[in-house]
Amino acid sequence: MSPQICWRTVLLSTTAAMVVGFSAPVAQADIPDEAYQPILSHLLSNVIPPKLDAFHDANAALSDTIGDFCAEPDAGGLEKTQGAFHYAMDIWQEIQPWRMGPLVANGRDQHIEYWPDKHGTATRQFRKLMFDKPAAYTDPAKLSDASAALQGFPALEEVLFDDERAGQLISADEDGIYLCQYGQAIASNLQTLSGELRDEWPDFAQAMSTAGPDSMDYPTAKFAATDLYRALHEGLLIISSQKLGRPLGEDEKDAKASRAESETSRRSLRNIEHNLIGLFALYDGKWGDIGEEGKGLAALIDSSLLDRSFRLNWQTVQDELSELPSSVGELLEQPDGYAKLLDFAGQIDFLTTLVENDVGGNTQLGGGFNSLDGD
């Protein structure tokens, strides 16, 4: 990628709109700028790159798996392909909330996952696609120039998980053959996108990690670290306003599972489970077996009591989520499902308040511009 690109202009883009007021920072001495530097280096250069490698590998495996299935379609092959989809999607949902640099450059996040689709664009375009069956959309290179709504995980989800289309795929009728070729093109394009993301990340990480007066993007390390805090804060806001708020609607009568993310594959709440894993890595500095505990934003928290409290509250929310089914649709089918979903949304909002007050205040990163407020 050209060194002339200003990474600042592609940070934390989002489709949400919400007004949020930050709490006033806790009164304390200014944190020296050099204290932010090791956090930037650890998160950007040590923690995220192995996840980007894993994401690319998962998409490569998905591409190979769907290719094998299309060569010899049967129910077992479709189930294996669906499993490869879920594995790649799990990793994407952990990476998704970071929303910075190469993740959002040139709309890459939308090409990987076009969502939310408030106006049903993907449904309309997919219906036309299946009517016309253009050969160009079975070519990964040509597909990459198509509408984002016809690329990425939601489009592949429609191919692999819709009951009617599953039958067509296995029977390999005219529609099934086209669907398989189209699905292969989507998976191959995802492999390309994830490879570009992986390859472009080091330059971006270097730009943030070497923040200082000579940088055109980041005049101070604190200025750069603010974007890590925003990723944590806004990631929770997106869960609340979009991933939960949209299906919840105005009230129980207005609730609609189809407005949830990845509902066709019945994994809308599973997505949030993985979002929380990736978001907590920003705070903690450890992501599964990658990184080191306490080297994320938590390194700036000077109260062990506050740190323990934050971790306990976060774990409580994760434990609550583990007791829920994998999708909003399954939950809403339960007699008390709406109440449970509303309660869980309240818990996410509580976590958001903790991030604003405790993390934002104690790291001195919580004030100022919020990209979700529409300014």
CA-closest candidate to residue 103, choices 151, 38, 51: 51
Q: Is residue 14 part of a domain?
A: no
Q: Is residue 25 part of a domain?
A: no
Residues in the chain, total: 375
Tokens of 165: 């289309």
pLDDT at 238 over 80: yes
pLDDT at 265 over 90: yes
Q: Is residue 12 part of a domain?
A: no
CA atoms of 99 and 336, how far apart (whole Å): 34
Residue whose entry in the numeric block shows the structure tokens 């996108």: 193
Backbone angles phi, psi at 208, to 5 degrees: -75, -40
pLDDT at 370 over 90: no
Cα distances from 18 to residues 12, 45, 198, in angstroms, run 14, 31, 31
Q: Which residues pair with 95 in a beta bridge?
A: none
**What pLDDT is stored for residue 6 in this prediction?**
47
pLDDT, tens digit, 9 for 90 and up, residues 8-17: 434 333 323 2
Percent of the chain at pLDDT > 70 equals 90
Q: 7 CB contacts (<8 Å, ≥6 apart)?
A: 101, 105, 204, 207, 208, 217
**What pLDDT is stored for residue 215 in this prediction?**
85
pLDDT at 268 over 80: yes
Q: Is 12 left (phi over 0), alpha (psi -120 to 50) or beta?
A: left
How many helices (H) and strands (E) would you count in the chain?
16, 2
Tokens of 61: 């495996």
* Average pLDDT over every residue of 264-283: 98
| Average pLDDT of every residue of the chain | 91
pLDDT at 237 over 60: yes
Q: Is residue 124 part of a domain?
A: yes
pLDDT, tens digit, 9 for 90 and up, residues 126-140: 999 999 999 999 999
Percent of the chain at pLDDT > 90 equals 87
Q: What is the pTM of this model?
A: 0.90
Report how far apart the first and last C-alpha atoms of the chain are (Å, whole number): 28
pLDDT, tens digit, 9 for 90 and up, residues 313-331: 999 999 999 999 999 999 9
> By residue range, what is the domain housing residue 290?
33-363
Q: Is residue 162 part of a domain?
A: yes
pLDDT, tens digit, 9 for 90 and up, residues 165-196: 999 999 999 999 999 999 999 999 999 999 99
Q: Is residue 19 part of a domain?
A: no
**What pLDDT is stored for residue 28 in this prediction?**
66
**What pLDDT is stored for residue 13 in this prediction?**
32
Q: Is residue 374 part of a domain?
A: no
- Residue 26: pLDDT band with limits 50, 70, 90: very low
* More reliable by pLDDT, 373 or 132: 132
Q: 79 CB contacts (<8 Å, ≥6 apart)?
A: none
CATH at 150: 1.20.1420.20
Cβ-count burial 92-123 (b if 16+ within 10 Å, e if not): bbbbbbbbbbbbbbeebbbbbbbbbbeeeebe
SS3 286: strand
CA atoms of 57 and 84, how far apart (whole Å): 11
Q: Is residue 369 part of a domain?
A: no
Count the domains in the chain: 1
Q: Is the distance from CB of 99 to CB of 140 less than 8 angstroms?
A: no
Q: Is the distance from CB of 317 to CB of 351 less than 8 angstroms?
A: yes
